[in-house]
């Protein structure tokens, strides 16, 4: 089948001592991966789908056989406006806010890093790296402490700035300000990655292009809108998709802030809701159904990113 | 005139940069500072913004490490055990797999790569319920082995994906040149390619380390007993709202958890953004 005429003449065989490699060798190398992913990703996924069609409560945990209930769990979720739909809507709104704020701030910081001198850029980088490196759990406790009701530095500073007494003001009890703090934690931790990536992209734009635009009298905003933004558009797209995925999965920050003093009913996001429904309340079947829906939503969001990556890798 | 305007703008942007630095560094600073302050300077309206020598104390670290509710030593050992095992297994298995996906042409290769990419998009948070039942069924709840299994499966796709990039970065021609000079295929690989891959292996290993060290959700579900806790769960016990929070101890505990993660992160951060940018900027 191969077009032997067009191929370069093959080197004499004996020059390179090449034994014919057995065709099963790559699969042998992949076998451990296949076992691990099959048993610990594939199987749990199948089990999740199975459980979502069963009545699975605390009794089944004790050994009672799980009965098939068809789509009952899904019906229960999809008609639960106060529970599931509210949580889903909350998670999506929060995700949109987080993504927009993260990307906009990240872009502004990247542009700032382009504009300032070497010393200031180094200073900004050090700060960003510290924020980026912090584990999300430690970040959550720190921000919880900053906004602490009685002794937090935020209430302290607000008191001395405004003159009103802020001591005793609880940021976590009110769902709206609860999510303001969640936004602070997530954006604080996510902006560094976005800013560094965009900065790396912006530095690859040829200087002559910018200079030419400057000579033609383009304002800074015009240069950004007409030159810099189009150059880094594909990076922005990837960053948006990745941020959507990360922000929709939000668990640790919300869960631990609830521990510190939030209202679980009014502040849960999808991941936390699955934990509450399944692990805390024992409705494993219903929680599995929510999990299945969650997986489908995530894969749908990730689809463009996966396609783009595969195209870029030229597979 | 123009000069003055430019200077003003420079100063303005410099001030802005300073603000970005302060905003991003302050929470970290505040964590460290609070952890060294005595309770009477943490609580009260007269805050100390710096642990000067006259108030400096290690009491918070003592309170955190010798907390009666959550023993520190087992948590450290559990975390180190799980992290180390995950790192080793993921690196070995992932490295072998990445070789198969880069140095061989075979049917099903493309499908496998797509699968590795897609698997990374499945949220672990969605799977906690079935994972809990499966690990429970194997009698592995509250064991390091059970948690290691889950973590390995979690970091493996990313490990393979990253290592694949590193192996691809070493040109095949180098190996072939060594083979022409008389090396066997395996010899060429170990003597030429492998040393060039060492930095990639280190970077990938560190990422696996950080992920396992910081992981919270799965540990929460699988390691429920106090003696089985990993460090993140141990930290969580300090803020559970059953009594007034001892913030000094919480910050000391946070520092203890953050130090290894931050150090290892700083070692490899340069490799984080590179992959996304290379080839992404189109003219």
List of domains in chain A: 83-313 (1.10.3720.10)
Q: Who contacts B133 (Cβ-Cβ below 8 Å, separation ≥6)?
A: A47, A51, A284
Mean pLDDT of B200-208: 89
Return per-residue pLDDT of chain A as tens, 315 residues: 343 344 444 555 444 455 566 788 899 999 999 999 999 999 999 999 999 999 999 888 888 888 999 999 999 999 999 999 999 999 999 999 999 999 999 999 999 999 999 999 999 999 999 999 999 999 999 999 999 988 899 998 998 888 888 888 899 999 999 999 999 999 999 999 999 999 999 999 998 998 899 899 888 899 999 999 999 998 999 899 999 999 999 999 999 999 998 899 999 999 999 999 999 999 999 999 999 999 999 999 999 888 888 888 765
Task: Give the model's pLDDT for residue B199.
Answer: 84
Concatenating the DSSP letter of every residue in A119-144 gives HHHHHHHHHHHHHHHS-HHHHHHHHH
In a domain, B94, yes or no: yes
Chain A residues 196-255 within an 8 A CB cutoff of chain B? 196-197, 200-201, 204-205, 231-232, 234-235, 238-239, 245, 248-249, 251-252, 255
Task: Give the model's pLDDT for residue A275.
Answer: 97
The verdict on a CB contact (< 8 Å) between B119 and A37 is yes
Task: Give the model's pLDDT for residue B116.
Answer: 93
Average pLDDT taken over every residue of chain B: 88
Residues of A in contact with B245 (CB under 8 A): 148, 260
In a domain, B256, yes or no: yes
Does position B176 have pLDDT exceeding 90, yes or no? no
A145 in contact with B at a CB cutoff of 8 Å? Answer: yes
Kind plus residue range of the DSSP H or E element containing A55: strand A54-55
In a domain, B9, yes or no: no
CB pairs under 8 A between A and B: 315
Does position B149 have pLDDT exceeding 70, yes or no? yes
Task: Give the model's pLDDT for residue B259.
Answer: 94
- Cα–Cα distance, A49 to A72 (Å, whole number): 13
Task: Give the model's pLDDT for residue A151.
Answer: 86
A147 in contact with B at a CB cutoff of 8 Å? Answer: no
Q: Which residues pair with A55 in a beta bridge?
A: A67
**pLDDT tier at B212, thresholds 50, 70, 90:** very high
Mean pLDDT of B160-178: 87
Residues of A in contact with B177 (CB under 8 A): none
Give pLDDT tens digits for B103-142: 888 888 999 999 999 999 999 999 999 999 999 999 999 9
- Cα–Cα distance, A155 to B141 (Å, whole number): 42
Higher pLDDT, B64 or B279: B64
- Cα–Cα distance, B268 to B200 (Å, whole number): 10
How many residues are listed for chain A in this entry?
315
Task: Give the model's pLDDT for residue A6.
Answer: 46
Q: Who contacts A179 (Cβ-Cβ below 8 Å, separation ≥6)?
A: A94, A97, A267
The verdict on a CB contact (< 8 Å) between B119 and A41 is yes
**pLDDT tier at B270, thresholds 50, 70, 90:** low
Task: Give the model's pLDDT for residue B282.
Answer: 32
Give pLDDT tens digits for A22-61: 788 899 999 999 999 999 999 999 999 999 999 999 888 8
Of A141, A239, A313, the CB nearest to B235: A141
Chain B residues 143-172 within an 8 A CB cutoff of chain A? 149-150, 152-153, 156-157, 160
Residues of B in contact with A298 (CB under 8 A): 121-123, 126
The verdict on a CB contact (< 8 Å) between B97 and A30 is yes
Q: Locate all alpha helices (DSSP H) within A79-174, ordered by sequence.
A: 86-115, 118-133, 136-146, 153-162
Of A18, A47, A120, the CB nearest to B17: A120
Measuring CA to CA, how many Å separate B48 from each of B24, B60, B246? 20, 15, 16
In a domain, B13, yes or no: no
B180 in contact with A at a CB cutoff of 8 Å? Answer: yes
A296 in contact with B at a CB cutoff of 8 Å? Answer: no
3-state secondary structure of A68: strand
Task: Give the model's pLDDT for residue A160.
Answer: 87
- Cα–Cα distance, B264 to B269 (Å, whole number): 9
Q: Which residues pair with A67 in a beta bridge?
A: A55
Chain B residues 114-133 within an 8 A CB cutoff of chain A? 114, 117-119, 121-133
Residues of A in contact with B31 (CB under 8 A): 138, 142, 145
- Cα–Cα distance, B248 to B40 (Å, whole number): 10
Q: Who contacts B201 (Cβ-Cβ below 8 Å, separation ≥6)?
A: B91, B95, B163, B166
Rounded to two decimals, what is the model's pTM?
0.90
Report the candidate in B154, B153, B150, B143 with the shortest Cα–Cα distance to residue B223.
B143
Residues of A in contact with B280 (CB under 8 A): 201, 234-235, 238, 312
Question: Within 13 Å and on the Cβ side, how many CA atoms surround B97?
Answer: 25
In a domain, B98, yes or no: yes
CATH label of the domain that carries residue B268? 1.10.3720.10
In a mutational test of the B interface, the residue from A20, A33, A198 whose CB has the highest number of chain B CBs within 10 Å is A33
Q: Locate all alpha helices (DSSP H) within B170-227, ordered by sequence.
A: 172-180, 185-188, 194-214, 217-222
Give pLDDT tens digits for A204-243: 999 899 889 989 988 889 999 999 999 999 899 989 999 9
Chain B residues 196-235 within an 8 A CB cutoff of chain A? 213-214, 216-217, 220-221, 232, 235
In a domain, B194, yes or no: yes
Does position B275 have pLDDT exceeding 50, yes or no? no
In a domain, B8, yes or no: no
| Total number of domains in chain B | 1
Task: Give the model's pLDDT for residue A20.
Answer: 61
Per the structure, the complete domain to which residue B97 belongs is given by: 71-272
Question: Within 13 Å and on the Cβ side, how many CA atoms surround A177?
Answer: 13
What is the token pair recorded at A314?
Answer: 């030229």
Kind plus residue range of the DSSP H or E element containing A54: strand A54-55
Q: Locate all alpha helices (DSSP H) within chain B, ordered by sequence.
A: 2-35, 39-42, 59-65, 72-103, 109-119, 128-137, 144-169, 172-180, 185-188, 194-214, 217-222, 231-237, 247-268, 270-277
What Rg value do the Cα atoms of chain A yield, rounded? 26
**pLDDT tier at B187, thresholds 50, 70, 90:** confident
Neighbours of B69 (CB within 10 A): 11
The minimum CA-CA distance between A143 and chain B, rounded to whole Å, is 7
Q: Which residues pair with A177 in a beta bridge?
A: none
- Cα–Cα distance, B266 to B277 (Å, whole number): 19
Does position B279 have pLDDT exceeding 60, yes or no? no
In a domain, B54, yes or no: no
Chain B residues 28-57 within an 8 A CB cutoff of chain A? 28, 30-31, 34, 42-45, 47
């Amino acid at each position: 089948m191969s077009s032997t005429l067009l191929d370069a003449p093959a080197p004499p065989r004996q020059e390179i001592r090449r034994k014919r490699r057995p065709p099963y060798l790559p699969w042998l190398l992949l076998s451990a991966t296949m076992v691990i992913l099959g048993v610990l990703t594939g199987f749990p996924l199948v089990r999740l789908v199975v459980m979502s069609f069963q009545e699975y409560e605390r009794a089944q945990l004790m050994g009672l056989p799980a009965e098939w209930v068809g789509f009952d769990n899904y019906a229960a979720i999809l008609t639960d406006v106060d529970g599931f739909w509210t949580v889903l809507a909350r998670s999506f709104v929060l995700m949109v806010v987080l993504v927009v704020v993260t990307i906009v701030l990240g872009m502004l910081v990247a542009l700032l890093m382009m504009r300032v001198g070497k010393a200031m850029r180094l200073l900004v980088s050090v700060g960003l790296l510290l924020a980026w490196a912090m584990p999300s759990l430690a970040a959550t406790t720190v921000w919880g402490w900053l906004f602490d009701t009685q002794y937090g530095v935020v209430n302290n500073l607000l008191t001395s700035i405004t003159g009103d007494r802020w001591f005793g003001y609880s940021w976590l009890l009110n769902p709206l300000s609860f999510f303001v703090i969640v936004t602070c934690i997530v954006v604080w931790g996510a902006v560094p990655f976005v800013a560094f990536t965009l900065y790396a992209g912006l530095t690859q734009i040829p200087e002559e292009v910018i200079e030419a635009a400057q000579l033609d009298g383009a304002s800074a905003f015009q240069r950004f809108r007409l030159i810099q933004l189009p150059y880094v558009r594909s990076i922005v797209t990837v960053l948006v998709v990745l941020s959507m995925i990360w922000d929709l999965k939000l668990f640790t920050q919300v869960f631990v802030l609830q521990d510190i003093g939030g209202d679980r009913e009014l502040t849960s996001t999808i991941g936390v809701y699955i934990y509450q429904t399944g692990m805390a309340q024992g409705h494993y079947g219903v929680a599995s159904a929510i999990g299945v829906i969650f997986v489908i939503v995530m894969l749908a969001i990730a689809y463009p990113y996966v396609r783009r990556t595969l195209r870029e890798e030229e597979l | 005139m123009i000069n003055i305007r430019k200077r003003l703008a420079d100063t303005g942007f410099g001030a802005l940069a300073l603000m970005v630095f302060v905003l991003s560094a302050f929470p970290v600073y505040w964590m460290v500072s609070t952890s060294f302050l005595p309770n009477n300077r943490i609580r009260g309206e007269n805050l100390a913004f710096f642990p000067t020598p006259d108030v400096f104390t290690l009491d918070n670290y003592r309170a955190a490490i010798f907390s009666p509710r959550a023993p520190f030593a087992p948590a450290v050992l559990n975390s180190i055990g799980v992290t180390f095992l995950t790192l080793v297994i993921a690196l070995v298995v992932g490295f072998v797999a990445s070789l198969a996906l880069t140095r061989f042409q075979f049917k099903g290769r493309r499908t496998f790569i797509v699968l590795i990419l897609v698997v990374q998009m499945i949220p672990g948070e969605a799977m906690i319920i079935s994972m809990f039942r499966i690990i429970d069924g194997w009698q592995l709840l509250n064991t390091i082995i059970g948690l290691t299994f889950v973590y390995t499966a979690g970091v493996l796709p990313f490990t393979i994906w990253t290592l694949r990039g590193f192996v691809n970065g070493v040109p095949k021609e180098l190996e072939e040149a060594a083979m022409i000079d008389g090396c066997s295929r395996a010899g060429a690989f170990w003597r030429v390619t492998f040393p060039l891959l060492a930095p990639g292996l280190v970077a990938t290993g560190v990422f696996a380390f950080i992920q396992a060290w910081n992981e919270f959700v799965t540990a929460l579900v699988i390691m429920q007993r106090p003696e089985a806790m990993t460090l993140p769960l141990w930290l969580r016990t300090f803020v559970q709202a059953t009594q007034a929070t001892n913030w000094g101890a919480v910050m000391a505990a946070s520092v203890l958890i953050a130090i290894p993660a931050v150090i290892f992160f700083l070692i490899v951060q340069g490799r984080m953004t590179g992959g996304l940018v290379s080839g992404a900027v189109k003219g």
